[in-house]
Amino acid sequence: MRRSVFAASLVATAVMCLGGIAAEHKSFEASAQKKTASTAEVKIDNFSFGPAAITVSVGTTVTWINRDDIPHTVVSTDKVFKSKVLDTDERFSFTFTKPGEYPYFCSIHPKMTGKVVVQ
């Protein structure tokens, strides 16, 4: 699964490199590649993750930014990812390579919960 996505990405990248000369039916893959290379942001503010639930495509890098006066962490409930403590304005990024639901929370303030849905 992962390998095929990677292969598709390679094709898509090659297509993009050739720039514009790709056949019409390849443009879908090119746009898919554009989507997979995307980024998303979750802001930590007022002891909450915003947005609390976010849906992204495979390959998206999600970045959390702490805008609170208090340190927080971003820890996957299923131990998929775990940030160090983030002080004010510090960031943590994670790239989601597999589809699925990734619930997470702040291990310091566990009432703070969020979810990343990867499609």
Interface residues toward other proteins, by CB under 8 A: 46-48, 68-71, 73, 77, 84-85, 87-88, 103-105, 107-111, 113
Would you say 27 or 51 has its CB closer to other proteins?
51
Would you say 18 or 70 has its CB closer to other proteins?
70
Min separation Cβ 112 and other proteins, Å: 8
**In the chain, where does DSSP find H-type helix?**
2-18, 27-36
Would you say 9 or 107 has its CB closer to other proteins?
107
Angle at CA of residue 50, ends 92 and 57, nearest 5°:
70
- Are 91 and 74 a contacting pair, CB within 8 Å? no
Min separation Cβ 55 and other proteins, Å: 19
Q: Which residues are 118's β-sheet partners?
A: 56, 100
Min separation Cβ 41 and other proteins, Å: 20
Would you say 5 or 85 has its CB closer to other proteins?
85
Min separation Cβ 82 and other proteins, Å: 10
113's enclosing H/E stretch is strand 113-118
Inter-CA distances, 99 with 14, 25, 34, 52, Å? 24, 25, 17, 18
